[in-house]
Amino acid sequence: MTRNRTASCAAVAVFLAGGAILAGALPAGAGTSSGEIKGYAAKCADDTGNSSALRTRIQIWSCTGGAAQQWSFSGGELRRAGMCMNDKGWGGSGSPVILWGCDGAANEAWSRNAAGGYVLKANGLCLDDPAFSVRNGTRLIVYRCNGGANQRWSLPVAPAPAPTPTPTPTDTPTSAGCHPLTDAGGCYEPGELCRDSDHGVTGVAGDGETIVCEDVNGWRWEPA
């Protein structure tokens, strides 16, 4: 399969080392976690159409935190909706990745390597975003492990909770020079009710206007 890749000295060294990456592999059942799996350019592994049907393609998509991007990694299986991420038909390098029933087969048993990749037990191939694609809908494959950025994936990470909004103060801000002050320490405005102790008092509103506490259908602050 012809693939467009930018070769660097580091990448060549990793490739020549062969099993060096696999030597750092973590056990298949290294832990349990759930959430988004983020890869190259912060794209997420995505179950096309949020489906649980056999042979559903696994693609990259902008991370949304939606159900189609919620995965768990436990016992070496990458699971979603009760199905497993699978090397279709044991196809080998270049083979597409699909959803399949979890049956413990080696073509859906994964481990983590030292480079941050998911390595398939069946053939030592890595979960791969072909040609470093950033296009939504690009189908994921398995490919020879080379340590490239398009083969580095996070462990499933739950989306961060939305920040709690800071409540807006409801008290009327105190303006310099206004008087008398309300019981809450704010400024009176024309039309507001007066306290008994303010009857007949002249004051200053928040905007600097002179106001008087007068009995106009009830004791209120009125423009002077």
Round to whole Å and give the CA distance between 145 and 129: 12
Helix H or strand E encompassing 12: helix 9-17
Which CATH code, of 2.40.40.20, 2.30.30.360, 2.80.10.50, 3.40.50.10800, is assigned to 9-151? 2.80.10.50
Residue extents of the structural domains in the chain: 9-151, 172-224
pTM for the structure as a whole: 0.60
Q: Find out whether 42 and 60 touch, Cβ atoms under 8 Å.
A: no
Round to whole Å and give the CA distance between 96 and 203: 78
Helix H or strand E encompassing 62: strand 58-62
Going residue by residue through the chain (224 aa), what tens digit of pLDDT does each one get?
333 333 333 333 333 333 333 333 444 444 556 899 999 999 999 999 999 999 999 999 999 999 999 999 999 999 999 999 999 999 999 999 999 999 999 999 999 999 999 999 999 999 999 999 999 999 999 999 999 999 999 998 766 677 888 777 655 444 558 989 898 888 999 889 999 999 999 999 988 889 999 988 889 999 88
Among the listed residues 44, 102, 97, 100, the one whose alpha carbon sits nearest the alpha carbon of residue 76: 102
User: CA separation (Å) from 139 to 25, 127, 190?
Assistant: 25, 11, 67
